[in-house]
């Protein structure tokens, strides 16, 4: 008894601010390095969401400056709709305060923790208040706030508030200063680059100490802001139903039709029948048992999937490709947007893209870009369902080597958009394993894998043809020379082998003892009219057939010969020179010609 | 076979290959050549000769891609090079040929492995050992000591050598090419081929060869071709028992296997390189137990190798199964010189006499 009373003295309620002060890692503030990225991520998420709501093209400025030993000042400024002065303290100075928590639609931020958590973190490490400037329109003055959070009560503590002269007509600027390091600079730039890939309509300007970067927009189209939908009967839990019922003045049948998506009169009637409840009953008066029966009935009746076109905003195949093209120079990119689907009553869309070659690192694991609601996921790759799915695809069947993850110059992008992305934790680093979502991811990746395989095999075929041409035009004549010498017989003529195998127009260039020869063999079955472009440091003076014209640029001479070559004949030119450079034939389809530099 | 016969055979074989290519190209065809596939999946046991040879899986090398065309080009250069050597009666080492290829432009070798492999290819196609091409291996041959006489044609003329009386304490050095060596006569009862020089020296020092009329041979680890060829010839010519004495670990058993059954790399020449009658003398895993020899623990790699040997057809006998399983059970390995723990004379006075009696050799 005594002990219980002793204990009782220590028991008291905890404010959410206190809770997160102790559990920073839950929000992604586990280390000073992560703090910067998380803060910028939260501010940028808010900025993009706000711009979307206001239908403006986001123009976001980010600045990170060192202001003291281990102290960094982070500024994020947007051209969004701004925040009315009365709300500013709550948005930045109170955890769990937001406009999007109760809405069912795709947004980046959800719970209203992110940016206020950053303010809390700043307050804990540097003691400095967050500075917020916001303006809602040309006619309104801008306001400047200095805000702290009262930890015990989770209420904003306004240090100062005053009007401010601001050159922006509308928008929000937040400045947070805290203890951190910039050891994760690479990761930060990666985060911004990835963000710009999936938000191709946004422009990001970044000032990092004295360096400046711009991630330019590739699309001038404002993306449609997702519209909130009603909850789906299959995606609701008892507590939520109970609250909705308690707040409703409607009759049961109207409550079902108006309060839930995809429920019509007929479906509502069926639910009432199954639950054994009269449709005309007031929902407010329903008891716990009756509500339980109602919930069971709601979830057993077949209801069409929730509408997705309005509440989700997939990026689209074309914009994903353009976004990737902008930031990564690759030889091949393909993107796929899957049809929308549902898990536990929550609509979602999976989008994926695959890139190959170019400037991607030729060895090591593939680059994996994970996104949820257009936000890049930077941490806990190993714990994420996306990574799991990437490993589960059999990439070897698409001619990609694999050791768990695919290997080589491969980039894989996966975007999951949903009204409720199932994260593994509040820090939103990894997507949880939901079978419905995993299935969609795997299908998208397999689809893209097949496309990549087609690209690779076409490329390999071209390579093989070139390789063959080299063998036939360059190596076999040498074999012939050596073998003829060994058997002591006249030199074998290998041009019949060439002609028989190639059926093409073959252009060869070689250099012997200061003399360059270009030879074009027409092994096709028709006469051709072509131009030979020969670009090298030789000016081709003294050619036994002078070029039609010759131009010089930076010490490189472009020589052009034009001629008609009847079928099964050879055209040849020789000039003194060193060779090298490049040779091209114009005037004939690519698949009918082959150019071989025998000096290589 | 005399040197002249071998030379003629080599020249004929090489010219046949080159002529075939010449004819192919004259007919407007891409030159090609067909080769047995050189993997362990294409090794078969030949009952008649009791050795492992290449099976009938063949792969066709056509000069249709730059890579395989270049391979044929290199082969053509090597053929031309060997032809010149035969004409001029010169010889060179594999390494020298590798350096000479520097001047072959596109046909130049990228690494010595490549030229070695190509020479092996030529051996397989032509059915001529590389000694016939006047190509010598780099490593020096092993040594042999004991009551036997050989006749060797040297640069200084024909020499008759008694391998006890006419040689130093290290024995007679086996030359790279033993084809011209004539096995004249002997006074021996058996041959012991040893893995390590230490054991070879021990037996010579203790006069084991004289006491038991034994020919002693130092394998120098995994034996060179000429060493294996000489053992094969001694076995064929004099019908002497050949006993292989190695360390007691899985890698040493492979040395025995390459002497007795042939190696995968040279499966095309197993008939002349392997000695199917060679018996394993020791060191047996059961010796480690019975003589309580100083030993080391088996490493993971050792265990892996022992397990691989359990599935190797060359070790698929009751004897080997029993010994390998015993060794896995003991978890130990020993070196052949571990017998020294029992005194310097133990191996020659006790172990070998007992073991040879048990095997019915003495």
* Contact residues, chain A to chain B, C-beta under 8 Å: 464, 467-468, 470-472, 474-476, 478-480, 482-487, 489, 492, 494, 496-497, 500-501
Cα(B119)–Cα(B135) distance, integer angstroms: 9
Asked whether the beta carbons of residue A479 and residue B25 sit closer than 8 angstroms, the reply is yes
Tell me the chain A residues in contact with residue B18 when contact means C-beta distances shorter than 8 Å. 483, 486-487
pLDDT mean over A184-199:
88
Question: Is residue A102 very low, low, confident or very high in pLDDT (cuts 50, 70, 90)?
Answer: low
| Residue A492 CB contacts under 8 Å (≥ 6 apart), including other chains | A480, A483, A484, B22, B25, B26
Instruction: Say if residue B40 is exposed, middle or buried (CB neighbours under 10 Å; 0-12, 13-18, 19+).
Output: exposed
Cα(B351)–Cα(B362) distance, integer angstroms: 13
pLDDT tops 80 at residue A332: yes
Element (H, E) at A405: strand A405-406
pLDDT mean over A567-594:
88
Residue A92 DSSP one-character state? H
pLDDT at B239: 92
Cα(A55)–Cα(B273) distance, integer angstroms: 85
Q: Do the Cβ atoms of B340 and B334 come closer than 8 Å?
A: no
Asked whether the beta carbons of residue A500 and residue B31 sit closer than 8 angstroms, the reply is no
pLDDT tops 70 at residue A240: yes
Most B CBs within 10 A among A479, A484, A494, A497, hence the mutation to make, goes to: A479
Cα(B183)–Cα(B185) distance, integer angstroms: 6
CA A443 vs. chain centroid, Å, equals 18
- Give me B20's structure tokens: 């075939």
Which ipTM was obtained for this model? Answer: 0.70
Question: Is residue A482 very low, low, confident or very high in pLDDT (cuts 50, 70, 90)?
Answer: very high
- Name the residue among A226, A197, A227, A217 with its Cα closest to residue A58: A217
Cis, bond preceding B39 (omega within 30 deg of 0): no
Q: Do the Cβ atoms of B173 and B140 come closer than 8 Å?
A: yes
pLDDT at A224: 77
Least Cα separation, residue A462 to chain B (angstroms):
13
Cα(B46)–Cα(B58) distance, integer angstroms: 18
pLDDT tops 70 at residue A101: no
- Cite the DSSP H helix spans in A361-473: 385-392, 435-470
pLDDT tops 90 at residue A204: yes
Tell me the chain B residues in contact with residue A474 when contact means C-beta distances shorter than 8 Å. 66, 106
Asked whether the beta carbons of residue A497 and residue B66 sit closer than 8 angstroms, the reply is no
- Give me A581's structure tokens: 């450079």
Asked whether the beta carbons of residue A494 and residue B68 sit closer than 8 angstroms, the reply is no
pLDDT mean over A525-546:
89
Tell me the chain B residues in contact with residue A497 when contact means C-beta distances shorter than 8 Å. 25, 28-30
pLDDT tops 90 at residue A447: yes
Work out how many CB contacts closer than 8 A connect A with B.
81
pLDDT at A334: 94
Active site residue B99: yes
Asked whether the beta carbons of residue A476 and residue B31 sit closer than 8 angstroms, the reply is yes
SS (H, E, C) A324-386: HHHHCCCCEEEEEECCCEEECCEEEEEEEEEEECCCCCCCCECEEEEEECCEECCCCHHHCHH
Average model confidence (pLDDT) for chain A? 86
pLDDT at A571: 93
From B99, B172, B291, B351, active-site residue: B99
pLDDT mean over A201-215:
89
Q: Nearest 5°: CA angle at A562, between A560 and A563? A: 150
Asked whether the beta carbons of residue B30 and residue A470 sit closer than 8 angstroms, the reply is no
Q: Tens digits of per-residue pLDDT, B336-353? A: 988 888 888 899 999 999
Q: How far is CA A86 from CA A77, A82, A151, A168, in A?
A: 19, 12, 20, 19
Cα(A550)–Cα(A560) distance, integer angstroms: 6
Question: How do the pLDDT tens digits run along chain B, 362 residues long?
Answer: 677 888 899 999 999 999 999 999 999 888 998 887 776 667 777 777 777 777 777 778 888 888 888 999 999 999 999 999 999 988 888 888 888 888 888 888 888 888 888 888 888 888 888 888 888 776 666 899 999 999 998 888 899 999 999 998 889 999 888 888 899 999 999 999 999 988 999 999 999 999 999 999 998 888 888 899 999 999 999 999 999 999 999 999 989 988 988 777 777 778 788 898 899 998 899 998 888 888 889 888 999 999 988 887 778 889 999 999 999 999 999 999 888 888 888 999 999 999 999 998 88
Cα(A556)–Cα(A562) distance, integer angstroms: 20
* Contact residues, chain B to chain A, C-beta under 8 Å: 14-15, 18-19, 21-22, 25-26, 28-31, 63-70, 72-73, 76-77, 79-80, 83, 106-107
Q: CA of B77: which chain A residue's CA is closest? A: A482
Question: Which among B19, B29, B106 is the nearest to A475, CB-wise?
Answer: B106
Asked whether the beta carbons of residue B22 and residue A471 sit closer than 8 angstroms, the reply is no
Rounded (10°) angle between helices B300-310 and B318-330: 160
């Amino acid at each position: 008894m005594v002990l219980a009373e002793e204990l009782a003295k220590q028991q008291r309620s905890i404010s959410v601010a206190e809770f997160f002060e102790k559990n920073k890692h839950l929000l992604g503030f586990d280390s000073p390095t992560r703090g910067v990225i998380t803060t910028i991520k939260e501010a940028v998420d808010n900025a993009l969401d706000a711009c979307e709501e206001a239908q403006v093209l986001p123009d976001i400025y980010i600045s990170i400056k060192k202001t003291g030993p281990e102290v960094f000042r982070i500024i994020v400024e947007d051209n969004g709709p701004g925040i009315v002065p009365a709300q500013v303290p709550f948005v930045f100075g109170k955890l769990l305060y937001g406009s999007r928590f109760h809405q069912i639609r795709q947004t980046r931020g959800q719970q209203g923790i992110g940016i206020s958590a950053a303010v809390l973190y700043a307050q804990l490490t540097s003691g400095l208040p967050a500075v917020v400037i916001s303006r809602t329109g040309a006619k309104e003055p801008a306001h400047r706030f200095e805000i702290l959070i009262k930890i015990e009560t989770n209420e904003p503590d306004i240090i100062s508030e005053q009007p401010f002269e601001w050159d922006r007509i509308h928008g929000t600027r937040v400045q947070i200063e805290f203890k951190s390091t910039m050891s994760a600079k690479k990761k930060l730039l990666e985060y911004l680059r990835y963000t710009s890939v999936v938000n191709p309509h946004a422009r990001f300007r970044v000032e990092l100490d004295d360096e400046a970067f711009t991630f330019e927009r590739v699309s001038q189209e404002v993306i449609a802001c997702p519209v909130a939908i009603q909850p789906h009967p299959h995606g609701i839990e008892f507590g939520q139903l109970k609250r909705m019922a308690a707040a409703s003045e409607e009759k049961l049948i109207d409550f079902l039709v108006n309060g839930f998506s995809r429920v019509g009169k007929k479906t509502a009637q069926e639910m009432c029948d199954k639950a054994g409840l009269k449709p005309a009953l007031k929902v407010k008066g329903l008891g716990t048992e009756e509500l339980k029966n109602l919930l069971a009935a709601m979830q057993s009746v077949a209801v069409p999937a929730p509408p997705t076109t309005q509440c989700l905003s997939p990026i689209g195949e074309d914009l994903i490709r353009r976004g990737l093209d902008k930031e990564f120079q690759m030889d091949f990119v393909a993107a796929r947007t899957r049809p929308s689907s549902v898990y536990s009553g929550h609509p979602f869309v999976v989008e994926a893209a695959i890139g190959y070659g170019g400037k991607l690192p030729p060895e090591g694991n593939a680059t994996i870009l994970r996104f949820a609601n257009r936000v890049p996921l930077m941490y806990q790759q190993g714990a994420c369902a996306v990574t799991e799915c990437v490993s589960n695809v059999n990439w070897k069947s698409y001619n990609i080597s694999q050791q768990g993850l695919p290997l080589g110059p491969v980039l894989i992008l996966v975007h999951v958009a949903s009204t409720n992305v199932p994260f593994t934790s509040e820090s939103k680093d990894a997507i949880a394993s939901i079978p419905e979502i995993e299935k969609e991811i795997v299908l998208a990746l397999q689809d893209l894998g097949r496309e990549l395989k087609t690209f690779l095999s076409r490329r390999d075929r071209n390579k093989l043809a070139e390789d063959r041409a080299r063998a036939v035009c360059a190596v076999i004549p040498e074999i012939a020379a050596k073998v003829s010498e060994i058997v002591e017989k006249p030199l074998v003529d290998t041009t019949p082998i060439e002609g028989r195998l190639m059926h093409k127009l073959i252009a060869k260039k070689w250099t012997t003892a200061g003399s360059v020869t270009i030879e074009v063999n027409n092994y096709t079955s028709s006469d051709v009219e072509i131009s030979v472009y020969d670009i090298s440091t030789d000016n081709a003076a003294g050619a036994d057939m002078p070029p039609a014209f010759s131009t010089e640029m930076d010490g490189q001479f472009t020589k052009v010969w034009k001629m008609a070559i009847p079928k099964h004949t050879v055209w040849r030119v020789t000039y003194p020179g060193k060779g090298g450079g490049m040779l091209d034939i114009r005037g004939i389809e690519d698949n009918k010609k082959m150019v071989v530099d025998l000096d290589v | 076979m005399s040197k002249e016969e071998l030379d003629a055979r080599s020249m004929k074989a090489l010219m046949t290959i080159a002529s075939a290519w010449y004819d192919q190209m004259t007919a407007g065809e891409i030159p090609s050549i067909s080769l047995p596939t050189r993997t362990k999946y294409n090794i078969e046991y030949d009952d008649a000769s009791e050795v492992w040879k290449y099976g009938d899986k063949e792969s066709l090398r056509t000069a249709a891609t730059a890579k395989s065309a270049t391979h044929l080009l290199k082969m053509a250069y090597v053929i031309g090079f060997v032809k010149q050597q035969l004409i001029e009666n010169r010889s060179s080492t594999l390494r020298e040929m590798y350096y000479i290829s520097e001047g072959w432009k596109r046909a130049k070798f990228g690494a010595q492995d490549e030229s070695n492999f190509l020479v092996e290819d030529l051996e397989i196609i032509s059915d001529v050992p590389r000694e016939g091409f006047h190509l010598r291996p780099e490593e020096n041959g092993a040594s042999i000591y004991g009551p036997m006489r050989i006749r060797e044609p040297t640069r200084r003329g024909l020499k008759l050598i008694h391998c006890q009386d006419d040689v130093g304490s290290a024995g007679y050095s086996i030359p790279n090419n033993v084809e011209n060596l004539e096995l004249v006569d002997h006074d021996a009862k058996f041959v012991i081929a040893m893995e390590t020089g230490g054991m070879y020296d021990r037996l010579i020092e203790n006069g084991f060869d004289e006491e038991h009329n034994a020919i002693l041979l130092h394998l120098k680890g995994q034996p060179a071709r000429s060493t294996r060829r000489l053992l094969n010839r001694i076995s064929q010519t004099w019908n002497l028992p050949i006993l292989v004495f190695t360390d007691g670990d899985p890698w040493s058993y492979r040395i025995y296997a390459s002497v007795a059954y042939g190696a995968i790399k040279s499966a095309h020449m197993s008939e002349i390189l392997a000695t199917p009658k060679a018996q394993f003398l020791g060191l047996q895993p059961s010796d480690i137990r019975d003589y309580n020899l100083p030993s080391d623990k088996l490493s993971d790699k050792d265990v892996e190798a022992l397990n691989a040997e359990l599935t190797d057809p060359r070790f698929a006998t009751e004897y080997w199964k029993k010994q390998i399983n015993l060794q896995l059970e003991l978890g130990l390995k020993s070196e052949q010189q571990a017998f020294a723990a029992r005194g310097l004379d133990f191996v020659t006075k006790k172990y070998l006499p007992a073991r040879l009696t048990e095997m019915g050799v003495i």
